[in-house]
């Protein structure tokens, strides 16, 4: 059961309204690396996890992320407070209002559609969707997803800090960024508390394909490093035109029943390309009467 304490987790002090900056902040409210995605990622995992310690940690952090969502949402609300009132009350000349909300980067949509309240979109107005959440219900994968998600969120906060002139906003972003670092450390500890967490899951790989590095991109720029050299790797230069790495004929096959085969052949006959004609085409028609060489028609029309 969730409860709410009316104090923010972090005291937000914004210097002055700035709808343009507000729109940037949405990146961490309703963006892919934002706080709702974080909270829901851990919450959906925590509900279904059987391990008591990990479950506790996941819900602790999910709850903290909801508290962060409130912090960043409150920043947005403060930054838009000025324009919100003016727009609702038509407190300015129309042209001033228009200029005010169309300074750039999405602040017009934030003002017009969402009335200055924090919206579950990113800074470009893209609606949040649950495709941002990559929980799959296997801790040896999910914890790695969480580690990565925290790393990404840390970077987005770092970038926002780099472009934010308002000292109060900057400080709050610093807090939020720091907590992502702390969360990443927690998830790392939880992952490595699972014995034999690599490879993830239960099933071992096929030994003949586990240690091969296939050089699929070739030319000036080919390079070697610990990811494809050393005793644990077999480096394979794939030759263009070679057969499958599995051997075999390199074409997909399936056994069809007789009536299936008949139907397939019927389709093939109906949609067969004739290679013995050079048909006049719509493009030929469209190119106009003087289009010349491409219209050498065959006997088709």
Q: Which residues are annotated as a binding site?
A: 35, 56, 60, 65, 68, 150, 183, 215, 217, 219
CA torsion sign for 52, 56, 62, 66 is positive
CB of 297 to its own copies, least distance (A): 10
DSSP character at residue 155: H
Q: Among 10, 19, 35, 38, which residue sits at the site for its own copies (rule: CB under 8 A)? A: 10
158 binds its own copies (CB under 8 A): yes
- How far, in Å, CA of 230 to CA of 151, rounded? 28
Question: Which residue ranges are tagged as binding site for Ca(2+)?
Answer: 56, 60, 215, 217, 219
**Token pair 């925590």 is at which residue?**
46
258 binds its own copies (CB under 8 A): no
Binding residues for its own copies, rule CB under 8 A, total: 238
Interface of this chain with its own copies, residues 96 to 115, rule: CB under 8 A: 97-98, 101-106, 108-109, 111-115
257 binds its own copies (CB under 8 A): yes
Q: Among 19, 35, 38, 135, which residue sits at the site for its own copies (rule: CB under 8 A)? A: 135
Displacement of CA 93 from its chain's centroid (Å): 41
- How far, in Å, CA of 134 to CA of 145, rounded? 7
- φ and ψ of 108, to 5 deg: -65, -40
Site string for its own copies, 265-294 (x = CB under 8 A): xxxx-xxxxxx-xxxxxxxxxxxxx-x-xx
CB of 167 to its own copies, least distance (A): 10
19 binds its own copies (CB under 8 A): no
CB of 99 to its own copies, least distance (A): 9
CB of 18 to its own copies, least distance (A): 9
Q: Of 4, 2, 15, 31, which Cα lies nearest the Cα of 118?
A: 31
Contact of 57 with 186, CB cutoff 8 Å: yes
- How far, in Å, CA of 128 to CA of 271, rounded? 43
224 binds its own copies (CB under 8 A): yes
Site string for its own copies, 184-223 (x = CB under 8 A): xxxxxxxxxxxxxxxxxxxx-xx--xxxxxxxxxxxxxxx
40 binds its own copies (CB under 8 A): yes
- How far, in Å, CA of 23 to CA of 76, rounded? 8
CB of 122 to its own copies, least distance (A): 6
Contact of 126 with 156, CB cutoff 8 Å: no
CB of 234 to its own copies, least distance (A): 10
Q: Of 240, 241, 235, 237, which Cα lies nearest the Cα of 211?
A: 235
Question: Which residue ranges are tagged as binding site for Mn(2+)?
Answer: 35, 65, 68, 150, 183
Burial of 293 (0-12, 13-18, 19+ CB in 10 A): exposed
Interface of this chain with its own copies, residues 60 to 99, rule: CB under 8 A: 60-64, 66-67, 69-70, 73-82, 84-92, 94-95, 97-98
């Amino acid at each position: 059961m969730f409860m709410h304490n009316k104090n923010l987790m972090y005291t937000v002090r914004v210097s002055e309204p700035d709808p343009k900056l507000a729109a940037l902040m949405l990146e961490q409210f309703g963006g892919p690396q934002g706080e709702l995605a974080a909270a829901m990622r851990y919450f959906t995992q925590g509900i279904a996890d059987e391990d008591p310690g990990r479950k506790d940690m996941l819900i602790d952090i999910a709850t903290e992320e909801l508290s962060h969502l409130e912090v960043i949402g409150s920043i947005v609300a403060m930054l838009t407070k000025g324009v919100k009132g003016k727009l609702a009350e038509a407190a300015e000349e129309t042209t001033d209002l228009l200029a005010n909300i169309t300074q750039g980067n999405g602040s017009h949509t934030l003002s017009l559609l969402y009335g200055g309240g924090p919206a579950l979109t990113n800074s470009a107005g893209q609606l949040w969707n649950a495709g941002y959440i990559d929980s799959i219900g296997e801790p040896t994968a999910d914890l790695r997803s969480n580690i990565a998600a925290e790393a990404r969120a840390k970077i987005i906060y770092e970038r926002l800090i780099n472009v934010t002139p308002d000292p109060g906003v900057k400080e709050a972003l610093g807090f939020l960024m720091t907590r992502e670092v702390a969360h990443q450390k927690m998830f790392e500890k939880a992952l490595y508390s699972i014995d034999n967490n690599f490879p993830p899951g239960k099933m071992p790989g096929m030994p003949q394909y586990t240690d091969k590095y296939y050089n699929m991109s070739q030319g000036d720029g080919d390079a070697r490093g610990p990811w494809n050299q050393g005793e644990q790797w077999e480096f394979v230069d794939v030759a263009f035109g070679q057969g499958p790495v599995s051997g075999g004929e390199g074409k997909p096959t399936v056994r069809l029943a007789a009536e299936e085969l008949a139907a397939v052949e019927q389709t093939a006959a109906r949609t067969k390309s004739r290679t013995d004609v050079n048909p006049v085409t719509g493009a030929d028609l469209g190119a106009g009467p003087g289009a010349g060489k491409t219209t050498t028609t065959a006997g088709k029309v």
